[in-house]
Amino acid sequence: MTASEVLALLEANQDERGIQYWKKLEGAASKLRSFGLGLTRLRKLAKQIGRDHELAMELWKTDVYDAKVIALLIDDPKLITREQAEAQVEQLEGGYLEHVFSSCDATLAKTPFVVELADDWMASEDAVRRCCGYGLLYEISKWKKKSAPDDAYFLERIAHIAENFDREEKAVKGSMGGALMGIGKRNVKLNRAAVKLARVISPIDLSSEGRSCEPFDVVKHLTSDYLKEKLGV
């Protein structure tokens, strides 16, 4: 498909309710147009379009929020470079873009350099990079492959979260909580370490001005009956 065809597809599937919600937004995200589509619908459309790195680059250049989300979903992790990742993280407009870019089964998390990238971004002076770095750490925590980092790696990241949590911005704290939750689901050893920290920092307040959110209870996720049975705790 071409960029024009994708935009036509988005317009054909536009959601009026979502468009009205978008128009009420303020800040960076409001600089973009939107067809009001939610992430679930955009994922379905992305699967319909298929992997296409060149198309992803074209869609990323548009001023359409939904098209940028599609770009992140259809990009080819084998062709994404570190330079591209560093450029795109500077251009995120908040909301789903940041989420799809670094978490939620992110394409970026499938690149061969993701562990190094996550570590670098978690130590960055830029809050957006830190937020995305912890999002990538969450994705890494889900790996089942032999090349996944060992327990020592994840224990060091738990210690890093513990050391830096109190001084972080609210959005970054939320990403830290997500990473901690992912790590704590890997095995019994990591679960115990994650729960110990989660009892100190959780629940995490994610509400913001004009937006009320239920606190993120990491402990609840890591001590559920389902996870206990899965881990054999």
Residue 123's pLDDT is what? 97
Q: At what angle do helices 151-164 and 188-201 cross, to 10 degrees?
A: 0
Residue 168's pLDDT is what? 96
Show me where the domains of the chain are located.
Answer: 1-76
Residue 95's pLDDT is what? 63
Residue 226's pLDDT is what? 95
The DSSP code for 28 is G
Residues in the chain predicted with pLDDT less than 50, given as ranges, are: 28
Question: Would you say 161 and 123 are in contact if contact means Cβ atoms under 8 Å apart?
Answer: no
The DSSP code for 66 is H
Radius of gyration of the chain (CA): 18
Residue 29's pLDDT is what? 55
**H-assigned helices in the chain:** 3-12, 16-23, 39-49, 53-60, 65-74, 82-89, 96-102, 114-122, 127-141, 151-164, 170-184, 188-201, 218-222, 225-231
Distance CA 73, CA 168 (A): 28
| Residue 24: alpha-carbon gap to chain centroid | 24
